[in-house]
Amino acid sequence: MFLDVLYGVLPLFFVMLTGYAASHAPKFPASVEPALNVFVFYVALPALLYKVVARADISDGVPFAFLWISIVSALVFALISWLAFRYLLRADRARALAGMLATSFGNVSYLGIPIVLGVMGTEAGFAAGMGQLVHNIIFMVGFPILAQIVLPHAGGGEHKASAARIARTVRNALVCSPVTWAMLVGGAVAIFAVPVPQPVDDTIDLVAAAAAPGALFVIGMSLKRTIDRARSRRRAPAAADGTAPAARWAKISIATMVVGKLVAFPVLVVAMLLAFAPELDRIWFNSAVLMAAMPVSATAYIMAQNDTGDGEPTAVAIVITCVLSVIALPVLAQLALK
């Protein structure tokens, strides 16, 4: 299992390295990354999710055990992370929220889906799609709402919670998300056996084929920006605000994020699956574990910076977890996957 997963994961990380190398070339200025990201998120990834859902056997539906364990484990681990940062590391509310997000929210869309498909094949596409949807709903909806409540004036702007702001957060993350609509349309096609013209199917196949390499290439390009931010932060003078020195706190917090994201979170999911759903089909079992084991999401930095004003430790954790996951994922597969 170790070698199977390693060989399945390595090509994906090689594409990431290609993106990172390209980000240093004059032909790929900083403006290229946002354009590629828009294409992947709004075109290629929805096409891929539509394709895997529309062609999946969803007659048995989504196992309830997969749903509730994925949801509960994510919420429980987020709470544990918050308590660890807030009371063990004695972080203020902003840093504790940023730490909680980085420790709990993995790159389930751009990296999770390609890895699940690469490890288990296209038959795992429906499970991968549901797994990323669960994680994205919890953190891309729940975290901004929580930040509005806990940090009404953080991030340099007004974040005071209100019904209108919460409704806008939910709308942006769900109703306006092309990923959500792609899965809904794909599910409708599969459930009602809607005939799709061959030229349309072929077009979707062509676009969907760009999702995995495109997403991984974008992740690689974003690593350069993340590394540059981290270097700039290290060169900046340390803050003296009466709290723990910034450099020392950042190191402790980054170590907590890395160990929590790559080890503690997937271990919790495995423990819950073995305790409450040991008979769960291997595709759903493995998808739940792999989604929990994804490295820190690049979106976590943006959300942490915007909503808490402190995203730099998250930026470093993104780079470290991406690198370490090349080994962490095959080791996890060897020890825990069916």
pTM of the model: 0.83
The answer to whether the CB of 263 falls within 8 A of the CB of 81 is no
At which residue do the structure tokens 């780079």 appear? Answer: 319
What is the pLDDT, as a whole number, of residue 175? 78
Counting other chains too, the contacts that 298-301 makes at CB distance below 8 Å and 24 or more residues apart are 298/107, 298/110, 298/219, 298/222, 298/226, 299/105, 299/107, 299/140, 300/101, 300/102, 300/105, 300/139, 301/102, 301/226
What one-character-per-residue DSSP string does 189-234 give? Answer: HHHTT----HHHHHHHHHHHTTHHHHHHHHHHHHHHHHHHHHHHHH
Q: What is the mean pLDDT of residues 226-238?
A: 66
pLDDT digits (tens, 9 = 90+) for 253-301: 899 999 999 999 999 999 999 999 999 999 999 999 999 999 998 878 8
pLDDT surpassing 80 at residue 154 = no
**Residue 241 or 23, more confident:** 23
pLDDT surpassing 50 at residue 26 = yes
Among candidates 78, 189, 207, which has minimal Cα distance to 137?
78
What is the pLDDT, as a whole number, of residue 191? 87
What one-character-per-residue DSSP string does 108-144 give? Answer: IIIIIHHHHHHHH-GGGHHHHHHHHHHHHHHHHHHHH
| Structure confidence at residue 209 as a pLDDT band (50, 70, 90) | very high
E strand or H helix that includes residue 167:
helix 163-170
Helix axes 113-120, 2-22, angle to 10 degrees: 140
pLDDT surpassing 80 at residue 248 = no
pLDDT digits (tens, 9 = 90+) for 80-99: 999 999 999 988 888 888 89
What is the pLDDT, as a whole number, of residue 302? 77
Q: What is the mean pLDDT of residues 303-315?
A: 71
